Structure 1
Amino acid sequence: MELYVNEQKLKGFVGKDAEVFATKNQSILVVFSLATKSGYKDRKTNQWVNRTEWHRIVAVGEPANHAKDMKKGDYAEVVGETQTNPHDREIGDGKKKIKVTFRDKEVRASLVKKLAKPESSHAENLDAEPITEDDAA
């Protein structure tokens, strides 16, 4: 039995073309965004309430080789661990300046797989609406 597990499995659509970077030791690092959708039916209004969640995906090594060809609109599955990266930023002017710590969340991919697009995403998920250019993270 595992004592600690930090694993996330996501299926969704790529929001922007994958960006490929070279690391100091000449391996590749790939970054792309993945949109997942969920929703529920509001009992008071009897309307669907939709929510799109954007995930920053970072792939290194073998998963990066699979991820480097990801294009906007591709349907993909990603398995990896969630990591947060804190960074400090000063907000405000003059004497009212305060230091705030932000945490960026990303998924470090251990598996990236391009999937065949579902025939109709609306048939599977009645709350699904198309993702627009403005939605891309």
Structure 2
Amino acid sequence: MALYENNIKLKGFIGKDAENFATKQQKTFTVLSLSTKSGYKDKQTQQWVNHTEWHRIVAFGKPADFAKNLKKGDYVEIEGELRSTEYDAEVGEGKKKTTVKRRGWEVRASIVKKLAKPVSGQNPDAEPITEDDAA
């Protein structure tokens, strides 16, 4: 049994066509925008409240070769590890401008699978993300 593990598995819909880039060493990688949905029933109003989460997915090597052809609306499963990066960002204007540390999160994909789209109407969470859902 591993003492530490950093594994993540996500299923969702691609938010925009895959973007392909090359490093200075001419190695290619692919960046995806993946949406996942969750929801809960509000106890006061008895209404379902949906929440859409957007994930930045970065794939290198063979997963990148497969992911480069994915289009907006494709239903996929991603496996990989969660990575964070720290960067400086300026906030404020004029004399009140200051630099703060920010943290960004992404999933480094090791497996990218395109799945068959769920049958519409079978599961309300299986509907593709619309522009109104976008954060």
Instruction: Give TM-score, length-normalised by structure 2.
Output: 0.91
CA distance in 1, matches of 2:47, 2:125: 9
Q: State how many pairs are aligned.
A: 135
In the other structure, the counterpart of 1:133 is: 131
**CA 76–130 in structure 1, closer or farther in 2 if over 3 Å, else same:** closer
SS of alignment partner, residue 122 of structure 2: helix
In the other structure, the counterpart of 1:20 is: 20
Instruction: Give TM-score, length-normalised by structure 1.
Output: 0.90
Aligned partners of 2:77 and 2:113 also within 8 Å: yes
Instruction: Name segments (4+ residues, structure 1) moved above 4 Å.
Output: 127-130, 134-137
Question: Cα RMSD over matched residues?
Answer: 1.7
Sequence identity percentage: 65
1:112 paired with 2:112, answer yes
> Which is further off, 61-70 or 18-27?
18-27
C-alpha deviation, 1:40, in angstroms: 0.6
SS of alignment partner, residue 117 of structure 2: coil
In the other structure, the counterpart of 1:98 is: 98
C-alpha deviation, 1:129, in angstroms: 5.5
Aligned partners of 1:58 and 1:109 also within 8 Å: yes
C-alpha deviation, 1:27, in angstroms: 2.0
> Which is further off, 127-136 or 36-45?
127-136
CA distance in 1, matches of 2:3, 2:104: 26
C-alpha deviation, 1:133, in angstroms: 3.1
Structure 1 residue ranges without an equivalent (≥5): none
